[in-house]
Amino acid sequence: MLDRPARDPLGWEGVFRGFDQLFREFERELPAHELRLGARGDHGRGPSAFVLKVEVPGIPEKDVHVELHDGVLTVSAERTTEAPQGYALRRRERSALRFSRSYALGDHVDAEKTTAELKDGVLTVGLGKSSKVQKKSIP
């Protein structure tokens, strides 16, 4: 037991445990068919940023919203399935989708270093770590 290194000296386990808890709460509230249509996501971290990827298939960029306020990141999106004017749908296999997911990040993220990109139906949010939680080397 004395030879084992500390599991998480910077306390990041708690941050990711919070992510996992939010994912579980979100999955309980949404019907399973909506989860398959666009609420799946991955999260990870690099040396200077956290990365969140959320599937938003078939949702135009104008209908995807990312907001960071008071240490809480909220990702929301909406997809409608209306037929073009003059057309009548004979069969509907795609359903409308609306979801919102929030992540409590506290003061671990620098809002000025946050980026978002939507490409090929995947929203990628880069969350720059605040300077007080970044690893520093002191010579």
Strands 97-104 and 109-119: unpaired
pTM score of the predicted model: 0.62
Of 17-21, 57-61, 127-131, where does mean pLDDT reach its minimum? 17-21
- Res 139: pLDDT: 75
Residue with tokens 């997911």: 101
Q: Which strands form 97-104's sheet, in the order they lie side by side?
A: 64-69, 72-79, 97-104
User: Average pLDDT over the chain, rounded to whole?
Assistant: 77
> Of the candidates 39, 42, 45, which has an alpha carbon nearest to the alpha carbon of residue 12?
45
CB 107 within 8 A of CB 130: yes
pLDDT at 79 over 50: yes
Residues 17-35 have pLDDT tens digits of 777 777 666 555 544 444 4
User: According to the model, what pLDDT value does residue 36 have?
Assistant: 43
Residue 87, pLDDT above cutoff 80: yes
Rounded distance, CA 44 to CA 129, Å?
Answer: 12
Which pLDDT band holds residue 11 (cuts at 50, 70, 90)? low
* 111 pLDDT above the threshold of 80: yes
